[in-house]
Amino acid sequence: MDNKKVNRQIKANRVMVIGSEGEQLGQMPTNIAISKAENQGYDLVEVSAKSNPPVCKIMDYGKYQFDQRKLDRKNKAKNKVHLKEIRLKTRIADHDLTTKCKRCLDFLSKGDKVKVSIQVNFRLKDDENNGLELINTITDVISDMGTLTNTPKLNGRFIDAMYSPIN
């Protein structure tokens, strides 16, 4: 949140004043504008310092700060990107695989990113290739709702793939 100049912090000699209801009050000396604001029980807040003369508005600065913080919290919560993870093994039944794919589709439809982790058992022959085939199968199933953002990588004993929703 940006800090605005309030009342006596405004150093300009003359300011353009906007009233508490949004009406134009015109140019006036800063000390007169501050006294008008104080008579109404409000503060004189500098809205635009770059214009000549600076534009100031008569408002309740405490309420303005409260509303800005509330708006910032709301926007911050809205912009969060959630990452969901689905784990499975290379030996999985068809029904279990369809259930996992449905969960992926649910997450993608809500706008969340999905990380699919497939556990590989290196003692089994060609288990890594089976994991990559499984990733390809999942990619084919959820291709209408999400795209594969990076190539599947072997990360320890897991093959990881990331999917992001299609906007």
Average pLDDT, the chain: 88
Of 17, 78, 6, 79, the residue nearest 53 (C-alpha): 17
Q: What are the domain boundaries of the chain?
A: 7-77, 83-165
Q: What percent of the chain is modeled with pLDDT above 70?
A: 99
Predicted local distance difference test score (pLDDT) of residue 1? 52
Residue 105 burial class via C-beta count within 10 angstroms: exposed 0-12, middle 13-18, buried 19 and up: middle
Q: Which CATH superfamily is domain 83-165 in?
A: Translation initiation factor 3 (IF-3), C-terminal domain (3.30.110.10)
68-106 pLDDT, tens digit per residue, is 899 988 888 777 778 899 999 999 999 999 999 999 999
99-129 pLDDT, tens digit per residue, is 999 999 999 988 889 999 999 988 888 888 8
Residues 6 or more apart whose Cβ sits within 8 Å of residue 109: 145, 165
Q: What angle do CA 12, 10, 37 make, to 5 degrees?
A: 110
pTM of the model: 0.54
From the candidate CATH numbers 3.30.2130.10, 3.40.50.300, 3.10.20.80, 1.10.10.10, the one assigned to the domain spanning 7-77 = 3.10.20.80
